[in-house]
Amino acid sequence: MNKTCRIIMLLFCGGIILSLFPLQSMGEGPGTPKAMPALYEFGAGYCFSCKEMAKIMAELTKSHSDQVEFRMVYVDKEKPLFDHYKIMLIPTQVFLDASGKEVDRHIGALTKDEVLKKLKELNFIR
């Protein structure tokens, strides 16, 4: 078997092995560091709306990180999470309860007030 075939086979087998273990067990899934609800913002650095959402996420992290985990997830850096949550369009917001279960999702940009309203609706913040 030539070197290229061996590399392809290794990558393929590695992918199968990784798919057998949920992301949570690898320490990357929802709710692993803290048992609190989370808002994952899926985007890309080249996306204007995603950049605006990143600013909002930074503001919310400063004001509400004691109640909600805010996480920016970029497609070029964390492709497995995009696949895990089946993200098809960006920006997409995924709201997770404290156990890591997805409880809501929104596709497209939101204003800070809209995010706060959704967090209150879901009882993530007071």
Unique residue bearing structure tokens 């650095």: 45
The answer to whether position 5 is within a domain reads no
CATH of residue 87's domain is: 3.40.30.10
- Residue 70's closest CA among 50, 54, 86? 54
The answer to whether position 12 is within a domain reads no
pLDDT profile of the chain (126 residues), mean per 10: 50 42 44 78 95 97 96 95 96 97 97 97 95
The overall pTM is greater than 0.75? no
- Give me the domain span that covers residue 87: 24-121
The answer to whether position 9 is within a domain reads no
CA 96 to chain centre: 9
The answer to whether position 73 is within a domain reads yes
The answer to whether position 89 is within a domain reads yes
The answer to whether position 17 is within a domain reads no
The answer to whether position 59 is within a domain reads yes
Count how many domains the chain has. 1
The answer to whether position 37 is within a domain reads yes
